[in-house]
Amino acid sequence: MSSMVTFATCFLIGVNAFLFDLKEADLDPLLKYSTTEIRERLVDKYRISDYAMMVRNTIHEISKIEGVMEEAVKGSQATWCKQLRTLTKRSYINMYRDFGYYRLRIIIYVLMAICLGTIYYDVGNGYTAIQARASCGGFVSGFMTFMSIGGFPSFIEEMKVFSLERQNGHYGVAAYIISNFLSSMPFLLTMSWASASITYWMVKFRPGFSYFAFFALNLYGGVSVIESLMMIISALVPNFLMGLILGAGVIGIMMLTSGFFRLLPELPKIFWKYPVSYIVYGSWGLKGAYKNDLLGLEFEPMTPGGEKLTGEFIITNMMGLSVSYSKWLDLAMIFILLLAYRITFFFVLKVKEAAAPYLRVAYTRFTVKRLERRASFRESLAMTSLSKRHNAPHPMAMQEGLNSPMQQY
């Protein structure tokens, strides 16, 4: 960079000195030439002048100095850990200061939890409570996680900042994704545990901290998966309206294949059950919620005097689910999906970054072809070429309001 500045300085000094000499010499005959001819003569005269030789010698001497000719350093000078630490801190501050990012959503979740708790308040263990508990679990696993779509506008703005900083090489993609996950974790945990504590104790699910912890972690995992999904969509579709429509559609499909609106055994096996129901968070979250709430409980039969229904019987026969593995495996699958979504987000950003130059070239060609098909564009090109062909260059001295550069020195 310093060598380029020195070269520019020496070049300007040489040109100024050369033009000063031209001023001293009376070159009035040059005024009859056109601007192009004067420019060519200036370049030729300077190339063979003593000033050009002096500039070349100066540049040659500067290039011998060690450390002057340095290559431009690409990328960030900070270590990866420092990048992660700085990004996490900055992202956390931004999320905290932006009222609509998480704080407003926490308030909405708390209000929704109060509404849900009052509707299903003390649901009990009657026969009708079976459907009520299942509906409450379906709402928590489906609609309460669906509300995370409200963070999409903030994701769009964040992706704009990321794109600009990534082009300048300030940090890597992995550091950005991990920092975003770490900075959002306190807010998502607060949102999940606050709303879960209200709903769980008002509905009066099974008492015990382990059952409550599972309920809260299940909600946290679902919300985190939806956030990761919306970040992928924000990277693919940087348009607010289209992103919301696409996100709502994808989440709607996840809800349909979760096993609440249609039982998992009754889903069409091709595509909807295999593989869709296995790669969406809703099916794992709902199965874990059923096991956490129903196993170990007994419910009243449909007709008085009949045998009580156990939670295991309800899960296996009425819902068609298996109890051969633990609910914690269902919860672990949600976090595995969370990791898979974050990895997908990483590859989406990488592929988008690599394909960006080709997409710009393709878009430019498409735009040019579209303009060429317009009659008005072709007429403007024809008029421009016609005006250039019939307007011969005039000597600079004959143009009104312009003076020859020879007269300025």
The answer to whether 319 touches 134, Cβ cutoff 8 Å, is yes
Q: Is 349 inside a domain boundary?
A: no
Helices (H) and strands (E) in the chain, counts: 16, 4
- For 289, residues 6+ apart whose C-beta sits below 8 A from its C-beta are 137, 140, 141, 215, 218
Contacts of 110 (CB under 8 A, 6+ apart): 194, 195, 198
For 85, 122, 176, 234, the CA distances from 90, given in Å and listed in that order, are 9, 43, 11, 20
160 and 279 both lie in a single domain = yes
Contacts of 8 (CB under 8 A, 6+ apart): none
Query: In this structure, are 55 and 165 located in the same domain?
Result: no
DSSP 315: I
DSSP string, 376-400: HHHHHHHHHHHHHHH----BGGGST
CA 232 to chain centre: 6
Whether 284 and 322 have beta carbons less than 8 Å apart is answered as no
**Domain end among 343, 377, 399:** 343
Sign of CA dihedral 227, 230, 236, 240: negative
Asked if residue 387 belongs to a domain, the reply is no
Q: DSSP characters for 186-254?
A: HHHHHHHHHHHHHHHHHHT---SHHHHHHHHHHHHHHHHHHHHHHHHHHHH---HHHHHHHHHHHHHHH
The encoded tokens of residue 96 equal 């905290």
| Residue 317 placed within a domain | yes
Other Cβ atoms less than 10 A from the Cβ of 45: the count is 14
Can you tell me the distance from the alpha carbon of 347 to that of 335, in angstroms, rounded to the nearest whole number? Answer: 19
The residues, ordered by sequence, that sit 6+ positions from 297 with a Cβ below 8 Å of its Cβ are 125, 206, 310, 311
- Domain shared by 106 and 219, yes or no: yes
DSSP, res 257: T
Asked whether residue 224 falls in the same domain as residue 301, the answer is yes
Q: CA angle, corner 361, sides to 356 and 362, nearest 5?
A: 95
Residue 363 belongs to some domain of the structure: no
Q: Which two tokens stand for residue 191?
A: 């949102």
Residues 158 and 304 grouped into a single domain: yes
**Position 350 in a domain:** no
Q: What is the pLDDT of residue 366?
A: 81
| Same domain for 191 and 111 | yes
Q: For residue 299, count CB atoms less than 10 angstroms from its CB and return exposed for 0-12, middle for 13-18, buried for 19 or more.
A: buried
Is residue 138 a contact partner of residue 260, using CB atoms and an 8 Å limit?
yes
Dist CA 10 CA 17 (whole Å) = 11
Whether residues 146 and 48 share a domain: the answer is no
Residues 159 and 51 in one domain: no
Neighbouring CB atoms inside 10 A of 124's CB total 15
Choose the final residue of a domain: 63, 89, 113: 63
- pLDDT tens, position by position, for the chain (409 residues)? 555 555 555 555 555 555 555 554 444 555 566 677 777 777 777 777 877 788 777 777 776 664 544 444 455 677 889 999 999 999 999 999 988 889 999 999 999 999 999 999 999 888 889 999 999 988 998 888 888 888 888 888 888 889 888 888 889 999 999 999 999 999 999 999 999 999 999 999 988 899 999 999 999 999 999 999 999 998 988 788 888 899 999 998 998 898 888 889 889 988 998 899 999 988 999 999 999 999 988 998 888 878 889 999 999 988 889 888 999 999 999 999 999 999 999 999 999 888 888 887 887 888 877 777 776 655 665 565 555 454 555 554 444 444 444 444 4
Is the Cβ–Cβ distance between 182 and 95 less than 8 Å?
no
User: Do 173 and 53 share a structural domain?
Assistant: no
Examine residue 154 and state whether it is found in any structural domain, yes or no: yes
pLDDT of residue 291: 93
pTM of the model: 0.72
Q: With respect to residue 72, please indicate whether it lies within any of the assigned structural domains.
A: no
Residue 116 structure tokens:
């849900």
CA atoms of 63 and 45, how far apart (whole Å)? 26
- Give the domain-ending residue among 328, 343, 358: 343
Residue 68 in any domain: the answer is: no
Residues 36 and 165 in one domain: no
- Cβ neighbours of residue 325 closer than 8 Å, sequence gap 6 or more: none
Instruction: Classify residue 252 as left (phi > 0), alpha (psi -120 to 50) or beta.
Output: alpha
Q: Are 38 and 32 in contact (CB under 8 A)?
A: no
Q: How many domains does the chain have?
A: 2
What range defines the domain where residue 321 resides?
A: 80-343
Q: Looking at the structure, do residues 49 and 183 belong to the same domain, yes or no?
A: no
Do 168 and 270 fall within a single domain?
Answer: yes
